[in-house]
C-alpha cells in the first residue's frame, strides 16, 4: 500500500469515526434530557411529563440506531488501517428500553435506571471512539 493510499484509508476511518461520535454525542444529549424529564416524572410530573420523557427516549433510541450503523462503518474502515488495535463495541443490547404501558413510581425508577445504563454505554462508546481517533490522528 502506498503512503497516499494509507493516508486515504486513515482519512476514511477518521471520517467514519467522526460520524459515529456525532451520533453518539447527540444520543447522549437526548438521554440526558430524558433522564432529567424522568426525574420530574418520578416527582409527580404527570401525563405530559411522561409523554415528553418517552418522546426523548424514542429520539435517543433512533439516534443510537444511527450510531450503531456509524460504528459498524467505523469498524469496517479500521480494518483497512494497519497498527490499530482491534476495535469492538458490542451494540447488541445498546440502549434497549422496555415500553411501559403503566405508570407509577416503580416503573419510573426502572425506566430511569435504563436511561442511566444507556447513558453509560454511550459514554463508554464515545471514550473508545475518541481513543482510536486520537491514535489515527497520530499516524
pLDDT tens digits along 25-36:
999 999 899 889
- 3-class DSSP string for the chain: CCHHHHHHHHHHHHHHHHHHHHHHHHHHHHHHHHHHHHHHHHCCCCHHHHHHHHHHHHHHHHHHHHHHHHHHHHHHHHCCCCCCCCCCCCCCCCCCCCCCCCCCHHHHHHHHHHHHHHHHHHHHHHHHHHHHHHHHHCC
Q: Are the C-beta atoms of 62 and 30 separated by less than 8 Å?
A: no
The confidence score (pLDDT) of residue 96 equals: 53
Distance of CA 12 to the CA centre of its chain: 20
The confidence score (pLDDT) of residue 99 equals: 44
Spans of the chain below 70 pLDDT: 1, 83-106
What are the tens digits of pLDDT across the range 87-100? 666 555 555 554 44
The total number of residues written for the chain in this structure: 139
Q: Are the C-beta atoms of 38 and 112 separated by less than 8 Å?
A: yes
The confidence score (pLDDT) of residue 127 equals: 92
- 126: its cell numbers: 464515545
CA atoms within a 13 Å half-sphere pointing along the CA-CB vector of 121: 22
The pTM (predicted TM-score) of the whole model is 0.79
Amino acid at each position: 500500500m502506498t503512503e497516499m493510499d494509507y493516508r486515504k484509508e486513515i482519512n476514511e476511518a477518521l471520517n467514519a469515526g467522526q460520524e459515529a461520535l456525532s451520533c453518539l454525542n447527540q444520543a447522549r444529549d437526548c438521554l440526558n434530557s430524558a433522564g432529567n424529564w424522568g426525574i420530574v416524572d418520578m416527582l409527580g410530573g404527570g401525563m405530559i411529563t411522561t409523554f415528553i420523557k418517552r418522546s426523548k427516549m424514542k429520539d435517543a433510541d433512533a439516534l443510537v440506531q444511527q450510531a450503531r450503523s456509524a460504528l459498524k462503518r467505523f469498524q469496517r474502515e479500521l480494518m483497512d488501517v494497519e497498527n490499530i488495535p482491534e476495535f469492538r463495541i458490542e451494540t447488541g443490547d445498546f440502549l434497549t428500553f422496555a415500553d411501559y404501558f403503566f405508570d407509577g413510581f416503580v416503573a419510573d425508577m426502572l425506566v430511569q435506571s435504563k436511561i442511566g445504563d444507556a447513558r453509560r454505554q454511550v459514554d463508554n462508546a464515545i471514550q473508545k471512539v475518541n481513543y482510536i481517533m486520537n491514535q489515527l490522528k497520530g499516524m
